[in-house]
Amino acid sequence: MLYFAPLAGLALLNLVSFEIFINPMNAFVTCFTVLMLALVGAYVHRLNRRQLENALLFFASFGILSFVPYELGLLTSLTDGYNLSGYGVIDEKGIIGPFQKVHSASPVLACSLLVLVAFYFQRRIRAIYFLPLLFLGMYFLFFTYVRTGLVMFSLGLIPLVLHSLRESSKAWVKLFVVTLLASAMLSSFVFSNEALVKRIKGERLYYAEDSIETYGSGRLYYSGATLDYFCRANALEQLFGIGETEGLNRMQDTIGRRIFPHNGFLFVLSANGVIGLCFFLVFLYRLYIGQKRVASDGAALARSMLVAYLTLVLLQSYELLYAFLFLALAYAYMKPRCARVERPGVSKALSDRRKV
C-alpha cells in the first residue's frame, strides 16, 4: 500500500504549481486524477489473493473481448483510430474499441496480454481459454497501429518468460506453443499488411524516421524542446513546475506546436518541477524494491507490469488509469500466497494447542 503514497504528494503539488494561477480547473482535475491513482493502489491491497486473481483475469479478458463488438461492426467508436493516410491508406483507421483513444487502447491490450501469459505459465488458466484470447489480443494490438503497446508487451514478456523457464521445465513447451502461434500470426496478418509494416518501421509516404526531428514520431525532438524551455525557466519554476498549460505554451514558442513531450518523466519535470520528479522517482523506486523483496509466483507478474509501465512512461505518459490499474493489481497480487491475517484470540488459542 505504501508503494503509491508518493503519488499523493505529486497530486497535491499540482495545487501549488503555476497551473493553479493559469488554469485552476485543470490543476484541480490533474490533482484529482493523480490522487485517484494513489487511492486505487491503496484500495486493491485490501483485496485477498482470490479476489485479486479474479480481478486480473476479468480486466484482462474484458480488455481484449471488449474490442470484438467494434470489430464485428455491432458498435462504433465515438472517435477515429490512428490516421493511416501518411502510410498510403485512406479508408482505414486503427482499432480503438471502447477506449476512444489510440494511446489508451494499445496499452490496455498489452497489459491484458501480459496477465494472460503470466496466468497461462502459472497454470491459472487452461490453454483452451488462453489461446483464443492470445490470438484476438495480438490481432487487436497490431491493428491499433500504435507501437507503444507493442513495445510494452514485448519488453514485459521478458521477465515472465525468464521466470517461468527457471521455475519449470514444462514452460519450454508452453513457450513453444505461444511462439508458434505468434509466428503464424505475424506471417499471416502482419507481414502481408504493407501499411502496418511501414507503421512499425516508421516509413511514411513523405519521410522516414531517420533524424532527431522525426525519430519515434518526433519524441526525441519534443524531449529536447522540453529540456530547452525548462532550463530557461527561473529557479522557482524549476523547483515547483510551470504546469501543463504553460508547458504547452512554451512548447509552442520553442518548436511552433502545442504538444506534450511524450515522455512521462519530462512531463512531470515540466509540470511539477524537480520536487514533483523526486516524488515520482521515489514511487518508482518503491515499486522496484518491492518486487525484489517478495519471492512468490506473483512477483514475476509485478516485474512484468513494472517493465511495461516504465515503457509507457518513457514513450507516452504516467497517469493512464487503465495501465495503472493493472500495475496496482499486479503488485497487490504479489503478496505471498500463504499470507493471512489471524485474529489475536485465534492465534493465541492455536499457540496454546501446539504447546499441549
Residues 323-337: what's their mean pLDDT? 85
* Range of lowest pLDDT (19-28, 40-49, 86-95, 300-309): 86-95
- Kindly tell me if the per-residue pLDDT of 257 is higher than 90: no
C-alpha 128: how far from chain center: 27
Q: Residue 289 domain-assigned?
A: no
Number of domain units in the chain: 1
- Kindly tell me if the per-residue pLDDT of 338 is higher than 50: no
- Kindly tell me if the per-residue pLDDT of 349 is higher than 60: no
Contact yes or no for 301/118 (Cβ under 8 A): yes
Q: Residue 97 domain-assigned?
A: yes
Residues 47-56: what's their mean pLDDT? 93
- Kindly tell me if the per-residue pLDDT of 339 is higher than 50: no
Q: Residue 213 domain-assigned?
A: no
Query: Residue 353: left if φ>0, alpha if ψ -120 to 50, beta else—which one?
Result: alpha
Residues 180-185: what's their mean pLDDT? 74
303/103: higher pLDDT: 303
Residues 27-40: what's their mean pLDDT? 93
Contact yes or no for 308/323 (Cβ under 8 A): yes
* Range of lowest pLDDT (271-280, 321-330, 345-354): 345-354
User: pLDDT band at residue 272, thresholds of 50, 70 and 90?
Assistant: very high
Domain that holds residue 162: 47-206+298-336
pLDDT the model gives residue 80: 76
What phi and psi, each to the nearest 5 degrees, are found at residue 208? -115, 155
How far is CA 86 from each of CA 198, 289, 293, rounded to the nearest angstrom? 10, 43, 47
pLDDT the model gives residue 330: 94
pLDDT the model gives residue 143: 87
Q: Residue 200 domain-assigned?
A: yes
What pLDDT digit, counting tens, does each position of 208-256 carry?
Answer: 666 555 666 678 888 889 999 999 999 999 999 999 999 999 999 988 8
Residues 298-327: what's their mean pLDDT? 92
- Distance of alpha carbon 310 from alpha carbon 317, whole angstroms: 9
Local structure of 203: helix, strand or coil: strand
Bridge partners of residue 93, in order along the sequence: 83
What is the average pLDDT value for the chain, to the nearest integer?
84
What does the block give as the cell for 292? 525484489
What pLDDT digit, counting tens, does each position of 108-164 carry?
Answer: 999 999 999 999 888 899 989 998 999 899 889 988 888 899 999 999 999 988 888
Contact yes or no for 95/84 (Cβ under 8 A): no
- Kindly tell me if the per-residue pLDDT of 324 is higher than 70: yes
Q: Residue 14 domain-assigned?
A: no
pLDDT the model gives residue 269: 94
- Distance of alpha carbon 55 from alpha carbon 277, whole angstroms: 31
Q: Residue 221 domain-assigned?
A: no
pLDDT the model gives residue 216: 62
pLDDT the model gives residue 350: 39
185/74: higher pLDDT: 74
Q: Residue 232 domain-assigned?
A: no
Q: Residue 52 domain-assigned?
A: yes
What does the block give as the cell for 37? 491513482
- Kindly tell me if the per-residue pLDDT of 313 is higher than 80: yes
For the full predicted model, state whether its pTM sits above 0.85: yes
- Kindly tell me if the per-residue pLDDT of 25 is higher than 60: yes
258/341: higher pLDDT: 258
